Structure 1
Amino acid sequence: MSQTVTVDSMHDSATGTWQYIVADPHTLDAVIIDPVLDYDISTHTISTHTADGLKSLIEDKGYKIIRILETHAHADHLTAASYLQTVLERDHGSKPPICIGKRIREVQRVFGQRYGVYDSELNAAFDQLMDDDEEFCIGQLKAKTIHLPGHTPDHVGYLVEDNIFCGDSVFNADLGTARCDFPGGSAKDLYHSTRKLLSLPDNYKIWTGHDYPSNGRMCPVPYMSVADQKQRNRYLSDIVSEQDFLHMRTQRDAQLKEPKMLHPSLQINIRGGRLPAPMPSGERTLTFPIRLETEHWGV
């Protein structure tokens, strides 16, 4: 029989991101999954209102955070992992390790070169790289890291008893699945990751990384059961073949725009949420590519 799991979910409406605190109600040991930093794209200002809300919840419930878990290097929001690690150590004397799947090194290489991030920053970004099927405990709860590639090659989910926190792989039924057109993404890999998720028992809960309510659905929903996903998700039903999935996903991805926060998100997230070192002026800077619409610039 599975242990009781306490899940506190917080939805960030600005980015559509679900953040989770997953706790053992007996020991109050807990983990944070995919926390969010606030970023104002018009002023390039980072703030911590959302992360501070997580911290307040942790303190109100008396949780002891033993890990901060990232499902992947997000391209649509900044992670608050490093900030929360710092304030938890400052205020409570414990420094929970920031953890992510081991294939983050592949993603760091690609985007570190693109944005000119130093290897020393990348090597220090995460405290623990999780192996496929690596088991760990949250108090008395059994947990496991599950490799779920497709959206990104480094993508993992976290299975805690009869709950799977699947990040940006499967979304709620009316949305389908995540996109696969980022570097290293693969619709074929995502199809097989969805099969892995749907092979879990029907009563297991699939907790998603995002929700964007639409079509009259007003409130974001953090999870659906495996059975409900099988029955209601048009991308995932048993009648959808691998070829059908690849066609649907590829066609859909071709219509999607680049995430608004792509460049700041990736530069911060491959650093584990740590900020770039300050310039001599005291300012911290990020890199943004520009595109020329003419081949005849004259320089």
Structure 2
Amino acid sequence: MMNIDTNLSRAAGQVQAVLRGEIRAPHVKAFFDEPTFTASYVVHDPATRVAAIIDSVLDFDHASGRTSFESADKIIAIVEQERLTVEWVLETHAHADHLSAAPYLQEKLGGKLVIGAGIATVQDVFGKIFNEGTRFARDGSQFDELLIDGDTLMIGGIPLIALHVPGHTPADMAYVIGDAVFTGDTMFMPDYGSARADFPGGDARQLYRSVRRLMRLPDESRVFLCHDYKAPNREDYVWETTMLAERTGNVHVHEGVSEDDFVDMRTQRDATLAMPKLILPSIQVNMRGGRMPEPEENGVSYLKLPLNQL
């Protein structure tokens, strides 16, 4: 029996509806944080001026343990300048390379904090790695809403359809907003390829299938990526492409690359990669919805450094 992916079909139909002029295309403003190579986004409905923020960055100096808000304040400035109403603060997954500024943005702008329901799996795995004990909830309750595949939110008059795309982590979600697809770390620019799949809970086969699933969206889909690292021989950072460019030109997973070949490539490549320099602070904070661990008796929050665990 043929497996009909109804949620993907809904998302593809939404992109086509935008192309036909039946649904408004969202306005997308990107913010690139070079220290973490992260692209954050403000996405809004131009008619209602209702907005969502996707994958925000909290500035963090690893050497001193100090946080700051320069990156988040840039987002706030645009939201206020454009007179937008933020209803959603979205995470595509629990990032391992930067800390989320979601609580700060919620305090300043409002909005509900949203992530995929798979965050509970991530919390369980890393709760053990960091020996968090029973006080740390592993049910996703640090977030306002947990999404599963096919769930829909509204950004003004523009639907957001959530697609579960595991592989990089169990919790990865892609968000299809009008004709714009926010893939998180599932794929990168065509000349750079795909995300790693060797973190706890990652799976290269799942990643291949998730990428292939997204590549079935219409060629004209605007694709917005969470990171760019500048491929060899490219001078500028780029974080927007099309699904046609990904499907036909992605160096790791273009048409014709088999699942086994991808898994072999990804496994060998991942074995050569160092851990992201901010993975330990990032995961501890991001699995809490961007909040720091509870302060100790002296009023100071501390991050753990587990030895020989990753």
TM-score, normalised via structure 1 length: 0.92
Distance 2:113 2:57 in 1: 14
Distance 1:284 1:252 in 2: 36
Distance 1:200 1:282 in 2: 49
Task: Give yes or no for the alignment of 1:216 onto 2:233.
Answer: yes
The answer to which of 239-248 and 264-273 deviates more is 239-248
Distance 2:300 2:232 in 1: 43
Superposition pairs of residues 16-95 of structure 1, within 5 angstroms: 16-88=37-109, 95=110
Amino acid at match of 1:141: I
Cα distance change on mapping 1:214 and 1:237 into 2, 3 Å: closer
Could you tell me which runs of 5 or more consecutive residues in structure 1 were left unpaired when the two chains were aligned: 89-94, 293-299
Partner residue in 1 for 2:32: 11
Alignment deviations for residues 108-157 of structure 1 (CA, whole Å, 9 cap, x no partner): 11111221335555454111111211011100101111000000011101
Distance 1:173 1:244 in 2: 17
Superposition pairs of residues 109-188 of structure 1, within 5 angstroms: 109-117=124-132, 119-122=134-137, 124-188=141-205
Partner residue in 2 for 1:251: 268
Partner residue in 2 for 1:201: 218
**Contact 1:83–1:274 (CA<8 Å) still a contact in 2?**
no
Match of 2:256 among 207, 225, 239: 239
Distance 1:63 1:121 in 2: 34
Partner residue in 1 for 2:114: 99
Amino acid at match of 2:264: H
Q: Secondary structure at the match of 2:170?
A: coil
Distance 2:100 2:280 in 1: 13
Distance 1:223 1:136 in 2: 23
Partner residue in 2 for 1:230: 247
Alignment deviations for residues 215-268 of structure 1 (CA, whole Å, 9 cap, x no partner): 232221121111111222121221111111111111110100011001000000
1:44, distance to aligned residue in structure 2 (A)? 1.2
Q: Secondary structure at the match of 1:79?
A: coil
Match of 2:291 among 260, 274, 294: 274
1:291, distance to aligned residue in structure 2 (A)? 4.3
Q: Secondary structure at the match of 2:280?
A: helix
Cα distance change on mapping 1:291 and 1:147 into 2, 3 Å: closer
Distance 2:84 2:64 in 1: 34
Distance 1:201 1:161 in 2: 12
Cα distance change on mapping 1:103 and 1:291 into 2, 3 Å: closer
Amino acid at match of 2:282: S
The answer to which of 13-22 and 217-226 deviates more is 217-226
Q: Secondary structure at the match of 2:160?
A: strand
Identity %: 40
Amino acid at match of 2:31: M
How many residues align structurally? Answer: 286
**Contact 2:127–2:136 (CA<8 Å) still a contact in 1?**
no
TM-score, normalised via structure 2 length: 0.89
1:58, distance to aligned residue in structure 2 (A)? 0.6
Could you tell me which runs of 5 or more consecutive residues in structure 2 were left unpaired when the two chains were aligned: 1-16, 19-23
Aligned residues: CA RMSD: 1.4
Distance 1:8 1:143 in 2: 17
**Contact 1:150–1:185 (CA<8 Å) still a contact in 2?**
yes
Alignment deviations for residues 39-96 of structure 1 (CA, whole Å, 9 cap, x no partner): 11111111111011111111011110001010111111100111111122xxxxxx31
Q: Secondary structure at the match of 1:215?
A: coil
1:171, distance to aligned residue in structure 2 (A)? 0.2
Partner residue in 2 for 1:91: none
